[in-house]
Amino acid sequence: MSGGLRGIAGKVAFVTGGASGIGAATCRRLSEEGARVAVVDIDAQGAERIAEEVEGLAVACDVADTAAVREAVATVERALGPVDLLVNNAGTDEFGFLVETTEEQWDRVLAINLRGVIACTHALLAGMQERRRGRIVNVASEAGRIGSRGSSVYSAAKAGVIGFTKAVAREAARYGVTCNAVAPGPIETPLLMAAPEHFGERGRRLIEVMVSSTAMRRIGRPEEVAGVIAFLCSDDASYVTGETIGVSGGLGMM
């Protein structure tokens, strides 16, 4: 079924981290707008579940593995055709003050949140430029703009995503390809909502502080982020590139 946004119907979308949270909501929204969706996630069963729901294609892939990313792209393009819409949503965090973290944690957070974005974009951008069309939307975070206590490496990775978005936008604009980012604040995702379970009182307090820092004083829903991502994928955003749009209840302006 085609929705109300122009230029999405019939397009092929490659959504990383599509098995849950913002990624799953984005798969649903793009499908509603008429896109053919590849649900890409390291969680193969979760990807299958969402793919069945949106009548899309499930692809198991670890975005931190460049070879796996290229294999996933090849699988999607064989099955669905050239990718028109790339949503780099896969991400993770390992909450903890910097002095408590390890090099292994840094590597994991940077590999998924930043290197994965670079790998997926590198694998798909050349084709988009050759066809002179394409939309890239990177899921950053307000943590990348204002910093987040207890998420220093994650904040660094997301700041990198924002800088990468601007650079790719400058390189790709002359080919008709746009590249934008969204910066969610506290969103009701499995990652954030599991913080109290994994970190006890510190995790509970983390969510409370994030929510109280927003102007709207509430946690956001994945669908609210997905709506902005869908807009940036559409022809309604054809003159928007290099931007980072906050979806954070006003957290970024505080």
Whole-Å CA distances, 94 to 117, 160, 192: 18, 17, 10
Whole-Å CA distances, 173 to 5, 125, 134, 233, 242: 21, 11, 10, 14, 9
Among 14, 95, 154, 231, the active-site one is: 154
Q: Would you state the structure tokens that stand for residue 144, as one six-digit string?
A: 């990348």
154 belongs to the catalytic site: yes
Pick the closest to residue 234 from 15, 6, 30, 12 (CA basis): 6
Pick the closest to residue 119 from 90, 78, 142 (CA basis): 90
CA distance 159 to 163: 6
Is-contact 56 41, C-beta < 8 A? no
Helices (H), the chain: 21-32, 44-54, 66-80, 103-110, 116-131, 143-146, 152-172, 190-193, 195-212, 222-233
Is-contact 41 91, C-beta < 8 A? no
Q: Would you state the structure tokens that stand for residue 40, as one six-digit string?
A: 């890409």
CA distance 243 to 94: 27
CA distance 203 to 33: 36
Pick the closest to residue 210 from 117, 95, 98, 107 (CA basis): 95
Known catalytic residues are: 154
